[in-house]
């Protein structure tokens, strides 16, 4: 059993893209009852270092996903994965298009260190249609073949989530960013086959982040409950 393994409960992951450490910890604690994980990204790490991630981790019990979208040669990618986990990450995102060799190294190492991997198959922003979208299905196949715990797919194009779900089957988790300011509608990604919707600005910029997260979690957890019997059948 992995420590702090990411599992769908509320179906909501908070992308806590706030760089001020104390503010970040405060929001993480406020939203903790309503989210399945806290996702931290490069700006937070550049400002606070790995110690910053450990400080957040120490103040909550949720899994931490280090959204580093690792994209380098295998030897360097391995170091990023190792250090991310040493500094408290329970899951890490990887950029699949860098190739099978890097992905294999990263996934095997993460698993040896009891962490989960989430490989990006298609991003949510408009520019993703230029280069990554055309190879999205290949990336999803690779993620499944290499045993990645999950993939990342866009809430802005829910129809593509359904295509990726068919490729990866029900065992692999799908996390889906792009709800709200990027154009995705709350709930559409879960209905299309994702396990989590990743929401950032709509929560951390709200006057009451906990209330905002609770509202989203209520909607998403109901969708998960309805889907459960279908998955178990
Ligand atoms: P927001 O809800 O504020 O748009 O934030 C989305 C979050 O998901 C950001 O942390 C962003 O880095 C991340 N993300 C994304 O938006 N699209 C992707 O394809 C992959 C991501 O990790």
CATH number of the domain residue 138 falls in: 3.20.20.70
pLDDT digits (tens, 9 = 90+) for 212-229: 999 999 999 999 999 876
Distance from chain centroid for Cα 211:
22
Residue nearest ligand 1's atom 12 by CA: 41
Please check whether residue 52 lies inside any domain of the structure: yes
Predicted pLDDT at 131: 96
Q: Ligand 1 pocket test: pick from 200, 206, 213, 220 the residue with the most ligand atoms within 8 Å of its Cβ.
A: 200
Mean pLDDT of 205-209: 98
pLDDT at 1: 45
State how many domains the chain has: 1
Q: Looking at residues 118-137, what average pLDDT do you find?
A: 97
Determine, yes or no, domain membership for 176: yes
User: Which structural domain range is residue 199 located in?
Assistant: 12-226
pLDDT at 228: 76
Q: 144 in a domain, yes or no? A: yes
CA 185 to ligand 1 center in whole angstroms = 14
Q: How would residue 167 be classed by pLDDT, with cut points 50, 70 and 90?
A: very high
Kindly report the pTM of this predicted structure: 0.97
5 lies in some domain: no
Catalytic site residue from 69, 138, 141, 226? 69
Is 233 inside any structural domain?
no
Q: Is residue 6 part of a domain?
A: no
The pLDDT score that the predictor gives to residue 180 is 98
How far away, in angstroms, is 198 Cα from ligand 1 center? Answer: 7
Q: 112 in a domain, yes or no?
A: yes
Residue 69 annotated to the active site: yes
Residue 34: which pLDDT band, with cuts at 50, 70 and 90?
Answer: very high
Q: What's residue 233's pLDDT?
A: 54
Confirm whether 7 is domain-assigned.
Answer: no
Q: What is the pLDDT of residues 43-99, one digit of tens each?
A: 999 999 999 999 999 999 999 999 999 999 999 999 999 999 999 999 999 999 999
Residues 112-116: contacts with CB under 8 Å, at least 24 apart: 113/81, 113/82, 113/85, 114/2, 114/3, 115/2, 115/81, 115/84, 115/85, 115/89, 115/90, 115/91, 116/2, 116/5, 116/6, 116/63, 116/90, 116/91, 116/92, 116/149, 116/150, 116/173
């Amino acid at each position: 059993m992995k420590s702090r393994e990411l599992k769908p409960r509320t179906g909501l992951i908070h992308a806590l893209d706030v760089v001020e450490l104390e503010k970040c910890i405060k929001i993480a604690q406020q939203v903790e009852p309503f989210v399945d994980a806290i996702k931290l990204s490069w700006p937070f790490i550049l400002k606070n270092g790995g110690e910053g991630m450990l400080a957040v981790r120490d103040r909550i019990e949720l899994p931490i996903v280090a959204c580093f979208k690792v994209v380098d040669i295998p030897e360097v990618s391995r170091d990023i994965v190792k250090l991310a986990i040493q500094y408290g990450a329970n899951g890490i995102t990887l950029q699949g298009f860098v190739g099978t060799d890097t992905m294999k190294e990263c996934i095997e190492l993460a698993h040896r260190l009891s962490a989960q991997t989430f490989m990006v198959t298609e991003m949510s922003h408009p520019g993703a249609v230029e280069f990554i979208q055309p190879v999205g299905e290949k990336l999803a196949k690779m993620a499944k073949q290499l045993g990645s715990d999950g993939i990342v797919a866009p809430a802005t194009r829910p129809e593509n989530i359904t295509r990726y779900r068919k490729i990866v089957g029900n065992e692999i988790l799908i996390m889906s960013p792009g709800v709200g300011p990027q154009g995705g509608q709350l709930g559409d990604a879960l209905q299309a086959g994702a396990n989590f919707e990743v929401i950032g600005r709509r929560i951390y910029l709200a006057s009451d982040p906990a209330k905002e997260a609770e509202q989203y979690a209520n909607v998403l957890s109901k969708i998960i409950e309805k889907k459960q019997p279908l998955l178990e059948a």
